[in-house]
Amino acid sequence: MAKSLTSSYKKLMEKEKNLFILGSAGAIVHWDMETKMPPRAIRLRSLQLAMLSRIEHKMSTDPEIGKLLKETMRQPEYDSLDTVQKRNLYLIKKHYDEQTKLPEELVAETAKQEAITIDVWKKAKAAKDFSMFKPELEKLFDLRKKAAGILMEVKKTATPYDALVDIFEPKMTAESISKVFAELREGLISLIKKCEVAPKQPDISVLKRRVPIDIQRKIAESLTELIGYDIKSKEAGGRIDETEHPFTTGYYDDVRITTHYYEDNFASSIFSTLHEGGHAIYEQNLNRDWIFQPVGTACSSGFHESQSRFVENIVGRSREFWIYFLPKLKELTGNILSDGDLDGFVHAVNQVKPSKIRVEADEVTYCLHIIVRFNLERDLFANKITVAELPQIWNQRYKEYLGVDIENDSEGVMQDTHWAGGLFGYFPSYALGNIFSGQILATMEKDVPDWKNQISSGNFQDVKQWLTKNVHHYGNLHDPADLIKRITGEEVSVKPYFNYLYRKYSKLYGF
Ligand code: ZN
């Protein structure tokens, strides 16, 4: 490597390191706001967060980065860089171009409008009144459309909406996602029908038994131990706290999760702990050599979801998992669940029931909620529909896909915070995560054929090691469609996910 190149590459990476350190500090300030902050601190906290984001914006749009990028990429020696270094440069350049092309005024106006829209969304949701929400959502949508138009030029995508999707699933397009989702929708609708008319139906009364919250905390601890997410030892890099909406945040040696405990719904904290635990072990097991480098981050939002859902659903809702964990659960809960039988319990935690609310949806119906949202977003950005038409089309699709009647817009189009927060293009990642998880499972089963036996004896080690080596370790070295191909040898495909679902649910429901 030529000397000048080494020095400009090094300078760039030094700047990146500072950005990662600053970002991780911001994440902790956010985490504190959600978990520990006393109410009166909110004003000071918003000033702190605004200052941190101003500093971050200034650092990440520093013209020096542009200059160093040019120097590094123009060198004839660029070819002598290895794959990791080239990927770092690619990711830095992509981020820098996007950040610098968006006018500061638009960024500031969008941030302001997002805060207003979220605030109005809360009030409109409480009042079940979309007409309150509509004018603010329209303003925010126009701002995001402007940004999408600019990003489309920078990223050279075919449509503005693709430029937004690219933020969460780099290089994936609405066209390719539409094809996959059409197949997904058809398969899921027919699977739901099979479950609905099947001879065996679950009895979910066991899940409604009251389990005191201090016992639920012990259950959550025991789950983190099982999946190897350390929150207890002197070497621990994790911790678990409580928030209404569970989330994961952090970086390498400090990755934190939250859960919520409801006395009359103990299963909720079990599955949210497993879900967030899946996110956390992904972050903790990224390649250690790549810390403070762009390659040392997760591949995409969909890949992140594939890991959380793998732990939550593929492992955590399997019969084998409960062979091991039900006796433990009985032990921890005293006489509350002592009469629960394995098969009844497993069927109960895998009940398939079309519902109105996405975050409460089961494994089989979940993706249909996502497909409704994706189709609406795509058509909105393509000017095929308007913001005003959203509630009506939403309700029609829910009837068509899930067979449910939406009675008001709070349980309909206003149920999620995403659009109110300006987050367009994110929804497809949730369903892509499920699809990826199916493909990853099919590949893992070839390498670790006895994984189910291991899980039934409480051994998660081999599964975790396989995921670390084959998924986590790749970090952001490849875009999602390339990474799935590298891991599985296949293009993005819903077939393995269907195979997994059909195998599991035909046994549970007896069809
Ligand atoms: Zn998640």
Contacts of 146-152 with C-beta under 8 Å, sequence gap 24+, read 146/106, 147/102, 147/106, 147/110, 148/381, 148/424, 150/101, 150/102, 150/103, 150/106, 151/98, 151/101, 151/102
Could you tell me the two tokens for 325?
Answer: 């964990």
What separation in Å is there between the alpha carbon of 38 and the centre of ligand 1? 27
Distance 357 CA to ligand 1 centre (A): 16
Instruction: Quote the mean pLDDT of the chain.
Output: 96
Q: Which two tokens stand for residue 251?
A: 């970086």
The residues with which 11 forms a beta bridge, in sequence order, are: none
User: What is the 490 CA–ligand 1 centroid distance (Å)?
Assistant: 24
- Quick one: average pLDDT of 67-92? 90
From 423, 479, 511, select the one nearest 300 (Cα to Cα): 479
Q: Quote the ligand 1 centre to 468 CA distance (angstroms).
A: 18
CA distance 133 to 122: 9
Distance 283 CA to ligand 1 centre (A): 13
**For 16-39, what is each residue's pLDDT tens digit?**
999 999 999 999 999 999 999 998
Residue 459 corresponds to which tokens in the numbers above? 């051994």
Q: According to the model, what pLDDT value does residue 264 have?
A: 96
- pLDDT, position 170: 98
Calculate mean pLDDT across residues 109-125.
92
Query: Is position 98 annotated as part of the catalytic site?
Result: no
pLDDT in tens, 452-464: 999 999 999 999 9
The edge-to-edge listing of strands for the beta sheet with 254-259 is 238-242, 254-259, 248-251
pLDDT of 5: 63
Average pLDDT, integer, range 320-326: 98
Residue 411 C-alpha to ligand 1 middle, in angstroms?
Answer: 21
Per the listing, tokens 């992140």 go with 304
Could you give the 3-state DSSP secondary structure of residue 257? strand
Amino acid code (one letter) for 171 = K
Distance (angstroms) between ligand 1 centre and the Cα of 366 equals: 13
Question: Strand locations in 223-368, DSSP E?
Answer: 238-242, 248-251, 254-259
Distance 279 CA to ligand 1 centre (A): 7
Contact 92, 65 (CB under 8 A): yes
Residue 288 phi, psi dihedral angles, 5° rounding = -65, -30
pLDDT digits (tens, 9 = 90+) for 148-190: 999 999 999 999 999 999 999 999 999 999 999 999 999 999 9
Annotated catalytic residue within 16, 98, 136, 276: 276
Does the structure show a pLDDT above 60 at 424?
Answer: yes
357 pLDDT above the threshold of 90: yes
Q: What is the pLDDT of residues 104-115, one digit of tens each?
A: 899 889 988 998
3-state helix, strand, coil in the chain (%, to 5): 70, 5, 30
Give 3's pLDDT tier (boundaries 50, 70, 90): low
What is the mean pLDDT of the segment spanning 271-296?
A: 98
Report pLDDT for 50: 85
Q: Distance from the CA of 245 to the center of ligand 1, in angstroms?
A: 11
Lowest mean pLDDT among 65-74, 216-225, 439-448, 478-487: 65-74
Q: How many angstroms is it from 268 CA to the middle of ligand 1? A: 14
Q: What is the mean pLDDT of residues 59-75?
A: 93
What is the pTM (predicted TM-score) of this model? 0.96
Q: Where are the domains of the chain?
A: 3-156, 175-509
Mean pLDDT of 188-211: 97
pLDDT at residue 4 greater than cutoff 70: no
CA 207 to CA 348: how far, in whole Å? 7
Query: Does residue 230 surpass a pLDDT of 70?
Result: yes
Backbone phi, psi, residue 477, to 5°: -70, -25
pLDDT at residue 198 tops 80? yes
- Averaged pLDDT for residues 221-228: 98
**Residue 329: exposure state from Cβ atoms within 10 A (0-12, 13-18, ≥19):** buried
Q: What percent of the chain has pLDDT over 90?
A: 92
CATH number of this structure's domain 175-509, picked from the four choices 1.10.630.10, 3.30.530.20, 1.10.1370.30, 3.40.50.2300: 1.10.1370.30
Q: How many residues does the chain have?
A: 511
